[in-house]
Structure 1
């Protein structure tokens, strides 16, 4: 039978093996008094364990491998961090192993001791050809377990995004107005142009944009210029105006180099999502909201509040253009759609609130994020479809964000035994 090391970790963690008459490979009586705490960082796999070997108590760490020889294969024999290991837990014992000081480590071999139900469940879990490895079991998993896993994956997803936001907090010395501005640009890139959008926000600081809160055309010229969009082969009058304004303020504010045009992605991007169109929409938002972060913290509570803040019209020029000097075939409504607003709620508002709550150590922001996401309809994409196909129907963005988190962090990496659903599937029948 083939399995990954995380299976042995789970067997030890949940004690899914017969402990009657337990002995080490050297036939010493073994009693497990405390399994220890699983360590997800560098060092032995379980810390603060307690076992008795031939009646003598040992306190220390547990290391888990598929085979005993993995100890040397992983370089533990010369690593002082592993001198505190009191028991080596393996599926198969194929050699004696020792610590850095050459003393042998007692070994427990699990082969022949693991509950048959557990082995069968694991084999059935990893052998399926379906997109979700747990598909055959999902119908029997209690809703509370699925909900708990979605919440955990959602929190992990928000924490990952918080790290990106906190890095900007560090870079701006705690200027949350600037951070909110940068995060807004990053999210307005909608994945494909998120990095150049963030780069643009850094190249055109919020403090300068705010100076022209009552001059949206100047704001647009500054951003279009720093984005590298003002230099067209056949400029129209509007583009020439943008270029003149940009060059004047570029010298006045001693702005750095603009973004090179090749950094932007237009290929296979719908015209409505072109970075030039998105910048025009950002200007419409920023010109109406001179204190962005304060508004997001104090005025936005619901998706309706967000819509009121963000559903503003760009300059009329953009109804007939998708790039400077490039006309669209027909008139376009450049108001942000409901779907776009919902995506901004998911990717901009919720992570920003969550990161702010972590920064201020205020738990209320976590619950506010959850309430907000539950107000947004469920997303539709291939990942969500894979769950729906198995009868797991999401009710809101709270569920779909959790599903995306489960997929990215567990399903796609086949880390089923790190998932509460996989752990539930593995356990033996009572």
Structure 2
């Protein structure tokens, strides 16, 4: 038995309210269970009760055992002087108030229905499960589930906003600079994401603003800062970039990263860091005001057009600087652009609108609902449990559910867990 579950029972009054009595036999009527306190102090504040027909307004404290009152030293804490009721699962000792009268106490286990306990035991079974409710999740009403998924999606956006707001603070609210940093990070995907973010932050965005009209200088800046221009390679294009980077390095006091930060191992050639940097060069050489263009784009086709770029001729026949390969355009695929929309465009637009007090939730939902569902091990497992995601909106919500609720066993804060417990 967990104290958090007792909080849940009290908050939602999942006990026999009509026959509720204290351990001393006093009749208790719960008029208002109070507001749940997540800070220090009693568990429920401003509760309203009738005890033997006398109205009481004050706080309620909840414990597994009555003796926990003394274990937690509440008798020495003035914050607990206004407690009017002690709710426990097991009454093992009397707790006394300042007037030396016993604090009214309810032993809750006497009033909780058997089916509520059974539901709790099913959900919090010690049996190894991928998610606690995997055997019951298909029982959930579809309307309730869909509303919960929408809330989870926006919770996920809020969590993604944390990094964005940090970057905005560091860049003096320069959305163009933050878009660049987020795009670079997400071009690196999961394996190279952090290294790519380091690359984006390794120089002032003002430098990129000055050189992006010149494709060779832009290439030299990004490849040079990534540490890829430190080798001795006898190739005309490579030598030109090397020369250009030395000029930029001296002019802007640049310090390159170690190229060992970037992983090639077990990656498909189209995901090599060199190719992703070449695509970034093509994107920023083509678009001079990318952030404002992402704000103007509404439909999915608008984003596909915006990110439709081609690498230069050198990279059409190379995956690295060292060796030539069969010619291929190496364009950004629609599935990759979808990831950029999910992880960069939508979160940044959400923060931008939030900062202006005008979040267009409907437009954000319409955009992400146009995207195909993501494919990964978590979404595949939900599919096995008969929870089929129809689009990226639902996959993002399911990822939030798994990572922020199921893994942490936050079933009591989850709408699905709440529904199953209430029966």
TM-score, length of structure 2 as denominator length? 0.91
Structure 2 residue aligned with 1:318: 315
Partner SS for 1:86: strand
Is 1:387 the equivalent of 2:382? Answer: yes
Partner SS for 1:220: helix
> 2:59 and 2:251 mapped to 1: Cα distance?
64
Structure 2 residue aligned with 1:216: 215
- Counterparts in 2 of 1:76 and 1:382: CA distance versus 1, 3 Å: farther
Is 1:305 the equivalent of 2:302? Answer: yes
TM-score, length of structure 1 as denominator length? 0.90
Query: In angstroms, what is the RMSD of aligned CA positions?
Result: 2.5
Structure 2 residue aligned with 1:280: 278
Q: What per-residue deviation string (whole Å, max 9, x for no partner) do you get for residues 239-282 of structure 1?
A: 22222111101111223x22223333333333322222211111
Q: What per-residue deviation string (whole Å, max 9, x for no partner) do you get for residues 130-167 of structure 1?
A: 42332332332210111011111111100001121111
Give the 5 Å matches for 1:15-414: 15-74=13-72, 76=74, 78-97=76-95, 105-127=103-125, 129-234=128-233, 236-255=235-254, 257-298=255-296, 300-323=297-320, 325-327=321-323, 329-364=325-360, 366-414=361-409
Aligned residues: 422
- Counterparts in 2 of 1:99 and 1:140: CA distance versus 1, 3 Å: same
> 1:99 and 1:177 mapped to 2: Cα distance?
61
Asked if the contact 2:311–2:329 (Cα under 8 Å) also holds between the matched residues in 1, the reply is no
- Counterparts in 2 of 1:390 and 1:310: CA distance versus 1, 3 Å: same
- Which stretches of structure 1, 4 residues or longer, exceed 6 Å deviation after superposition? 98-104
Partner SS for 2:63: strand
**CA drift at 1:332:** 4.0
Asked if the contact 1:168–1:179 (Cα under 8 Å) also holds between the matched residues in 2, the reply is yes
> 1:235 and 1:81 mapped to 2: Cα distance?
76
Q: Which moved further from structure 2: 54-63 or 240-249?
A: 54-63
**CA drift at 1:408:** 0.7
Q: What per-residue deviation string (whole Å, max 9, x for no partner) do you get for residues 89-140 of structure 1?
A: 2222334457899996543221121111111122222335442332332332
- Counterparts in 2 of 1:170 and 1:341: CA distance versus 1, 3 Å: same
**CA drift at 1:312:** 0.2
Asked if the contact 1:50–1:57 (Cα under 8 Å) also holds between the matched residues in 2, the reply is yes
**CA drift at 1:37:** 2.3
**CA drift at 1:38:** 2.4
> 2:209 and 2:287 mapped to 1: Cα distance?
9
Q: What per-residue deviation string (whole Å, max 9, x for no partner) do you get for residues 171-226 of structure 1?
A: 22222121222221222221222222222222223222122232111111111111
> 1:204 and 1:118 mapped to 2: Cα distance?
58
Asked if the contact 2:60–2:83 (Cα under 8 Å) also holds between the matched residues in 1, the reply is yes
Mark the runs of 5 or more structure 1 residues left unpaired by the alignment: none
> 2:123 and 2:49 mapped to 1: Cα distance?
32
Q: Which moved further from structure 2: 126-135 or 406-415?
A: 126-135
- Counterparts in 2 of 1:15 and 1:310: CA distance versus 1, 3 Å: same
> 1:94 and 1:265 mapped to 2: Cα distance?
60
Q: What per-residue deviation string (whole Å, max 9, x for no partner) do you get for residues 40-94 of structure 1?
A: 4444433332223344433333333333344455565555544444333222233
